[in-house]
Structure 1
């Protein structure tokens, strides 16, 4: 009998208070509400990213493939996490002993998928950086980090997908089951595996999201670029914060051996933080790709065309611009010249009988009549 089986036997001797205070994270409404909401947002970000790369710029690359794979595996993790609620996740282990094997199957899938997703999203970000840094020191830093993260991800993914040999030993303990690492063979071994992963995961998150910081201080950045990069770093900071909270939550529940094995009670908090960490990382990796397209479309929708109005005085009257018209010629001649050739200061047009035959002579006004004409 391994330590997990022995500890469960000890827990059955001292039942926890069923009416005790229940953490907020243990309520199904919390688990469903938080997890589904941010998971949908992450898929929206991935959808915008893929649309931009496949339909707008038509330049997909490996980083797009890896972020899509990360989203798929993350979906598997979320489904398994929420599926375990029905079989006792969020309750004390001793009260779900009959459904524990089924719940452990869901826990196995969500735990393994989470560890794989964290590796995939880091690889996607580093591949994205390689498109940005074509040469220089930062490119070599990204290449070295990419190789390191790939090896780290393969190692912990193997430990998560094969915690026991055979794998069924994770949810169905037998004498032939050989468990290690995440398989909870001993508490010290499981705690050490969790701490090493959480610590290295937090370290890689911090380093990866600090690499573009050099661009932030590049001279000549426009205000919009500064705001966009500030938003990107803020999102990256949330990812690092979630990694720190996950490590803290794991430490918090590892002080007492008996309580630490009551993982069905305290693990929902860790799983919610893990889901938020991955969702924020996917959104952070996708925003720089689709955000310029979104901004351009917003401008096309909400900004009208600019119209510049200029004013130019015309020297000639409209009628003067039509010298080929008989009527216009008469008008032009009448407005500018008297039959006698004498020019006067005041003109008016009676539009009388002469107007009906196309002639609009300008009548002269003598100096005595001029004031009266002005009053009219």
Structure 2
């Protein structure tokens, strides 16, 4: 755990454990709306695959993995906000809440990374199928490189996150056990956040060479534009999440500023799920 310097703690107001200032319900409202839309998109995708098209691809498996871990992220964040004081200023958080809060944060970081990575891997698997409709041989090599990058990025992040403290339990132990060693969590998460945003931009722009070569009807072209616009929303939410993450670590008021960070995180992965499921929903929408 990152302990604030003494001069920072000296400027904090007295702790208020009885009736502290709390964040409003914006996290629950925004997250519930976007998670609900993402759930509908995933359910529609599964229906389209199993009932309408009667086949299930690797990209669908990746989406299910991403959706399950997204549910895990939302569940833990909701619980921690309601019961572990994630909606308070850090000086109003009781000390006995710190270990379970850090355990929750540890779990959320892992699940969120898995979710966002598998959403992009699902899109990359979908892009491979687009190759059947065009003759761009170099595009396959770009897909190979992008897929390798995303898998390597996820594995490196999981490795550095799990082993951020040695022994591992030192991450959520307060005060830290004697002899334990931890890397800078702020640096690790900011680097991962920047690489994650870059990766989303790559996945959003990667299919453009293929799309531009396809002969699309006006309706299909509108659909492509709508999907690209949703991709811009994902990247925008990712940039906002990165800003609030920096703000949380820079201010040492992690619980207070991470509230906005979690809203952006929920919007980002839920919008990404919707974007990844949209192409598979065409058979369902066509039958309505």
TM-score range, shorter chain: 0.7 to 0.9
| Corresponding residue pairs, total | 277
TM-score using structure 1 length: 0.68
2:181 to 173, 178, 183: 178
Q: Classify the secondary structure of the residue corresponding to 1:217.
A: helix
Residue in structure 1 matched with residue 220 of structure 2 by the alignment: 225
1:196 Cα deviation after fit = 1.4
Match of 1:46 in 2: 42
Q: How does 1:215-364 map to 2 (within 5 A)?
A: 215-218=210-213, 220-255=215-250, 259=251, 261-290=252-281, 292-298=282-288
Per-residue deviation, 1:272: 1.3
Larger helix fraction of residues: 2
1:320 aligned residue: none
Q: Which has the larger radius of gyration?
A: 1
Task: Give the unaligned 5+ runs of structure 2.
Answer: none
CA distance in 1, matches of 2:214, 2:271: 29
- Deviations, residues 158-180 of structure 1 (Å, cap 9, x unaligned): 23344323332222121143322
Match of 2:27 in 1: 31
Q: Is 1:16–2:23 an aligned residue pair? A: no
The C-alpha deviation readout for 1:192-234, integer Å capped at 9, x for no partner, is: 2222111111111111111222244336311110111111111
Q: C-alpha offsets along residues 257-299 of structure 1, whole Å, 9 cap, x if unaligned?
A: xx2x221121111111111111111110000011x2233212x
Name 1:305's counterpart in structure 2: none
Tell me which residue corresponds to 1:90: 87
Counterparts of residues 116-135 of structure 1 (less than 5 Å): 116-134=114-132
Equivalent runs, 1:21-170 vs 2, <5 Å: 27-85=23-81, 86-98=83-95, 99-134=97-132, 136-170=137-171
> Structure 2 length normalisation: TM-score?
0.88
Structure 1: 5+ residue stretches without partners: 181-188, 299-376
- Checking the alignment, whether the CA contact within 8 Å between 1:242 and 1:273 is kept in structure 2 is yes
User: CA–CA distance in 1 between the matches of 2:90 and 2:247?
Assistant: 18
